[in-house]
Structure 1
Amino acid sequence: MTDMRGSGGNGEEERVREQSQRLKEKIERARGQFAAETAGPQRIGGEMTGMGRAMRLGTEFIAAILVGAGAGYLLDRWLNTAPWLMLVMLLIGFAAGVLNVVRAAESMNRAAPPPPGSDLGPGSDDED
């Protein structure tokens, strides 16, 4: 076995240190490039894609209708009033679904930043 502490070992140790330092620098550059590439598509502050918004709104609307219809069906079975309570609760579920969609869309629009270059109307510093 070769002893690295000998006269020839010093040059070898230095060469290994230089290689490891270059490798470390390459790794850091690669990490920086990876972080820069992945930073773009991240969502900030709950911003959603268009498909995500549509899925949320559609799910909330359908869920409210199904809950209303299901509650009406169960009440009809319990009170023997078929189909009247189911129809009434179906309409109430529809109204609740519309209200949920309006509220959710309003909160999503409030959270999303305006698109670049959009004119939001006159500002407070504009003249009348």
Structure 2
Amino acid sequence: MAESRGTKRPSSDGKPGPLTSDLAARIKRAQVEADVPGDADIAATNRDMSGLSRGLRLGSEFIAAILVGAGLGYLLDLWLKTSPWLLLVMLLVGFAAGVLNVVRSTAEMNRAAPPPTDAMRVPDDAEDE
């Protein structure tokens, strides 16, 4: 068999070998050329989301998880002839996955949002006293 180009294995002393450093350089160059968004870009996008877009995102993630769970349950019921038990179980699993997705997305959005300032705070009735 023909030896492929650049098949040297990295050294085992922890330092990157020629293959690893070449691969890292090629990945970096491809990311720059493709303009791949980084973590800072994603955080900036989340910061710029309006209330409506946040609500639509969370709602669509929740509904999608439920529909996927119900769909998988329905298909499994058809295949295994266990109607309606797997549909009900997978519907509940989809609901749990939807809640988990909403909690994760909300936590991500809250981390990306700037901390509230005094001008953004709304006084409470308890603060008036």
Deviations 1:45-102 (A, max 9, x none): 1121000100000000000000000000000000000000000000000000000000
**CA deviation profile, 1:9-56 (whole Å, cap 9, x unmatched):** xxxxxxxxxxxxxxxxxxxxxxxxxxxxxxxxxxx8112100010000
> For residues 68 and 49 of structure 1, what CA distance do their matches in structure 2 show?
29
Unaligned runs of 5+ in 1: 1-43, 120-128
Q: Which runs of 4+ in 1 moved over 4 A?
A: none
Q: Secondary structure at the match of 2:44?
A: coil
Query: Which AA in structure 2 matches 1:73?
Result: Y
The alignment status of 1:109 with 2:110, answered yes or no, reads yes
Normalising by structure 2, report the TM-score.
Answer: 0.56
Tell me the CA shift for residue 114 of structure 1: 2.0
Cα RMSD over matched residues?
1.5
Do residues 49 (structure 1) and 50 (structure 2) align?
Answer: yes
SS across alignment from 2:60: helix
Question: Which one has a bigger Cα radius of gyration?
Answer: 1
Q: List gaps (5 residues or longer) in structure 2.
A: 1-42, 122-129
Question: Could you state the TM-score of these two structures normalised by the residue count of structure 1?
Answer: 0.57
